[in-house]
Amino acid sequence: MASTAAAYLSRRRKQFLSSSTVSPLLRALSTAAAQTAPRAAPPQIPPFDYSPQPYVGPLADEVLAKRKKFLNPALFLYYKKHVNIVEGKMQYLFDETGRRYLDAFAGIVTVSCGHCHPHVVDAVIRQTKLLQHATTIYLHHAIADYAEALAAKMPGNLKVVYFVNSGSEANDMAMLMARVYTGNYDIIALRNAYHGMSAATMGLTAHHTWKHNVPQGFGVYHALLPHPYRGPFGADGKKYADDLTDLIQSSTSGKVAGFFAETIQGVGGSVELAPGYLPAAYDIIRKAGGICISDEVQTGFGRTGSHYWGFETQGVIPDIVTLAKGIGNGLPLAAVVTTPEIASVLAERLHFNTYGGNPVCSAGGRAVLEVLDKEERQKHCAVVGDHLLKRLHALKEKHDIIGDVRGRGLMLGIELVTDRTTKTPATAETLQLFEAFKDLGVLVGKGGLYGNVFRIKPPMCFTLEDADFLVDVMDHSMSKL
């Protein structure tokens, strides 16, 4: 109640001062009084019993100069004053000066267990000393043991694993599988989706910011996104599914190969699909001869808290699941999991991946599963995520710039708008706050088509104290805005 009253008084003060009946002198006196009022002290990062090693490598300016000279010019950097990250430990990162930052973005939702988790590090080192690489033309237990452990986490008949190196490659393979297995060609994805940057998955992606002006997306169609905040049907998932039926009837032969969906869109701004959408969509796709593919690159491995896999939140079982990012806690590892029936079609030709199932990556991936189980990370994500959501909803009541708080577990989004009625994206303000959070020691992600959504997806060892610090930093920065 106090925060709501304070927000109301603040709005009334702004309305009063902007009124034409207020004298310039009164306006100046009121503004001066506000500027001289005591400001709250900045929040302090929680204590952490770890000291980084002294850094003796090249500094930020030198690293930046080398990047500009030798690296892909399309690479982008966060922040006006770039951060040179040189060490990581669990949910924290350290820069060249030894300053500690709370990592609320986990290397773009990749660090699941925590930076340099000792169990994962030990598994990687142990295997590296024994055998760094031998392809699948020879036997080695690491890949088989890991495939067994990963398949055990899947429901239904999802029991066959293909190992690849990235999420783009996994989705690329899923497209191939769907087309070969069904004998159909057309594939449907959702608007606002991100599924990769390969030649094929660029067409699957539905964000113009990630699409080059080249021929792409042959046979790919994008259905209406069941967006509870911005969509025309609110949270009614079944109404959005009607568009899927219309799309199949109007844009395809009536037969499709497959349907791709993230249960919570990641790059798109942490958009959780409207309840009831996936059951209806899966039924429509299967009646049209297609198979259903769940992109779990960001939502998998217990991050949502309520379930181990994102698709389970809507009570469906896909025909293919694609995995990456958190699967390896930072290792270049990804996977496609499907049924024996679908897997059999790729056996009609030779299939091979040089690095897929590399023994070092397999050992590390299996260690990730062990950590997530032993440390009960799914349950932890539920507890910390629920606390964080409550605090963020309270923050929304205090600050009008927050239009929507969404997501579940430790996969959350905060969308900023300049007007809650029109939902006009607050893109400039988002950038300003983005810098302010970093200056106070918090690194967050940014996404959405308009770049106005803060993506909160930290390592899954993120604590309640970390959650409070994150929200306090947001509150402090928004109050100054």
Q: pLDDT per residue over 429-440, tens digit each?
A: 999 999 999 999
Position 1 in a domain: no
Last residue of a domain, one of 319, 343, 374: 374
204: tokens are 């699957």
* Same domain (yes/no): 231, 319: yes
Whether 360 is in a domain gets the answer: yes
Q: Is residue 431 helix, strand or coil? A: helix
Q: What are phi and psi of 205, to 5 degrees?
A: -70, 145
DSSP 280-310: HHHHHHHHTT-EEEEE-TTTTTTTTSS-SSG
Name, in order, each residue with C-beta under 8 angstroms of 178's C-beta and a sequence gap of 6 or more: 184, 187, 257, 258, 290, 291, 293, 320
Other C-beta atoms closer than 10 Å to the C-beta of 438 total 18
Total-model pTM: 0.90
**Is 155 contained in some domain?**
yes
Domain boundary residue among 324, 358, 374? 374
The mean per-residue pLDDT over the stretch 334-362 comes to 93
Q: How far is CA 149 from the centre of its chain?
A: 24
Strand ranges (E), 30-159:
85-89, 92-95, 100-103
Please write the tens of the pLDDT for every residue from 164-190.
999 999 999 999 999 999 999 999 999
- In this structure, are 463 and 324 located in the same domain? no
Q: Do 176 and 302 have their domain in common?
A: yes
Same domain, residue pair 363 and 455:
no
The CA distance from 240 to 233, in Å, is: 7
Residue-number span of the structural domain to which 350 is assigned:
118-374
- pLDDT (tens digit per residue) in 18-45: 554 455 555 554 555 445 555 689 999 9
Do residue 190 and residue 321 come from a single domain?
yes
Are 262 and 145 within one domain?
yes
84 and 191, same domain (yes or no) = no
Sign of the C-alpha dihedral computed for residues 303, 306, 307 and 309 taken in this order: negative
Band (pLDDT 50/70/90 cuts) for residue 74 is: confident
Q: Does residue 1 have a pLDDT over 50?
A: no
| Backbone dihedral angles phi then psi of residue 77, each to the nearest 5 degrees | -120, 145
State yes or no: pLDDT of 2 exceeds 50.
no
Domain count, the chain: 2
Is the distance from CB of 388 to CB of 412 less than 8 angstroms? yes
Give percent of the chain with pLDDT exceeding 90. 87
Distance, in Å, from the CA atom of 263 to the CA atom of 411, rounded to the nearest integer, reads 11
pLDDT in the model for residue 480: 93
Q: Are residues 412 and 273 in the same domain?
A: no
The pLDDT of residue 147 is above 80: yes
In a domain, 24, yes or no: no
- Name the band, by pLDDT with cuts 50, 70 and 90, for residue 301: very high
Is residue 95 situated within a structural domain? yes
Burial 188-226 (b: 16+ CB within 10 A, else e): bbbbbbbbbebebbbbbbbbeeeeeeeeebebbbbbbbb
CATH code for the domain of 193: 3.40.640.10
Q: Which of the four pLDDT bands, split at 50, 70 and 90, describes residue 481? A: confident
Is the domain of 350 the same as that of 388? no
At 14 the pLDDT is 53
Find the mean pLDDT for residues 229-234: 97
Task: Identify whether 23 is part of a domain.
Answer: no
Residue at which a domain ends, from 330, 359, 374 = 374
Q: Do 284 and 433 have their domain in common?
A: no
Report yes or no: 13 and 6 within 8 Å, Cβ to Cβ.
no
Interval 88-146: pLDDT, tens: 999 999 999 999 999 999 999 999 999 999 999 999 999 999 999 998 999 999 999 99
Determine whether 294 is exposed, middle or buried from the number of CB atoms within 10 Å of its CB (0-12, 13-18, 19+). buried
Residues in the chain: 481
124 & 250 share domain: yes
pLDDT value for 374: 98
| Residue-level pLDDT at 19 | 52
Statement to judge: residues 97 and 136 lie in one domain: no
- Structural domain contains residue 170: yes
What would the mean pLDDT of 233-257 be, rounded to a whole number? Answer: 96
Q: For position 41, what pLDDT does the model report?
A: 92
| CATH number, domain with residue 456 | 3.90.1150.10
pLDDT recorded at residue 47: 97
Q: Is residue 4 part of a domain?
A: no
Question: Treating both helix axes as pointing N-terminal to C-terminal, what angle do 359-374 and 118-130 enclose, rounded to 10 degrees?
Answer: 160
Res 145: pLDDT: 97
Q: Write down the pLDDT at residue 3.
A: 45
